[in-house]
Amino acid sequence: MNILDSSGEEGVCVEMTMVCLSDFEEYAKQHLSKATWDYYDAGADDCCTRDDNLLAYKRIRLRPRILRDVSLNDTRTSVLGMEISFPVGIAPTAFHCLAWHEGELATARATEALNTCYIASTYSTCSVEEIAAAAPSGYRWFQLYLYRDRKLSEQIVRRVEALGFKALVLTVDVPYTGKRRNDIRNQFKLPPHLKVKNFEGMFQEQTGPQEEYGIPANTLDPSISWKDVCWLQSLSRLPIIIKGILTKEDAELAVEHGVQGIIVSNHGGRQLDGGPATIDCLPEIVDAVQGRVEVYMDGGIRTGNDVLKAIALGAKCVFIGRPAIWGLAYKGEEGVREILQILHDEFRLCMALSGCRNVAEINRNLIQLSRL
198-216 confidence digits (pLDDT tens): 988 776 544 455 677 888 8
pLDDT at 168 over 50: yes
CATH of 21-205+214-369, one of 3.40.1390.10, 3.90.1150.10, 3.40.50.10490, 3.20.20.70: 3.20.20.70
Question: At 372, is the pLDDT very low, low, confident or very high (cuts 50, 70, 90)?
Answer: very low
Going from the C-alpha of 117 to that of each of 89, 107, 287, the distances in angstroms are 5, 11, 25
Mean pLDDT of 85-91: 98
Rounded CA separation 201/197 (Å): 9
Question: At 15, is the pLDDT very low, low, confident or very high (cuts 50, 70, 90)?
Answer: confident
184 exposed, middle or buried (CB, 10 Å; 0-12, 13-18, 19+)? exposed
Is 145 labeled as ligand-binding? yes
Per-residue model confidence (pLDDT) at position 151 = 92
| Cβ–Cβ under 8 Å, residues 343 and 84 | no
Is 77 labeled as ligand-binding? no
Per-residue model confidence (pLDDT) at position 22 = 98
Question: At 8, is the pLDDT very low, low, confident or very high (cuts 50, 70, 90)?
Answer: very low
pLDDT at 370 over 70: no
Geometric angle at alpha carbon 105, from 346 and 311, rounded to 5°: 30
Per-residue model confidence (pLDDT) at position 1 = 38
Is 270 labeled as ligand-binding? yes
Catalytic residue among 31, 101, 267, 344: 267
Question: At 326, is the pLDDT very low, low, confident or very high (cuts 50, 70, 90)?
Answer: very high
For 28-65, the pLDDT digits (tens) are 999 999 999 999 999 999 999 999 999 999 999 999 99
What percent of the chain lies above the pLDDT cut of 90? 89
Mean pLDDT of 303-332: 98
Per-residue model confidence (pLDDT) at position 154 = 95
Per-residue model confidence (pLDDT) at position 204 = 55
pLDDT at 193 over 60: yes
Which helix (H) or strand (E) covers residue 74, if one does?
A: none
Is 248 labeled as ligand-binding? no
Is 354 labeled as ligand-binding? no
Which helix (H) or strand (E) covers residue 52, if one does?
A: helix 48-58
| Cβ–Cβ under 8 Å, residues 243 and 263 | yes
pLDDT at 244 over 50: yes
The mean pLDDT of the chain is 93
Is 176 labeled as ligand-binding? no
Rounded CA separation 167/143 (Å): 9
pLDDT at 6 over 50: no
Active site annotation includes 267:
yes
Per-residue model confidence (pLDDT) at position 210 = 65
Mean pLDDT of 321-345: 98
Rounded CA separation 307/320 (Å): 10
Identify the residue with better confidence: 9 or 363: 363
Is 241 labeled as ligand-binding? no
Is 298 labeled as ligand-binding? yes
pTM for this one?
A: 0.94
Mean pLDDT of 83-92: 98
Is 39 labeled as ligand-binding? yes
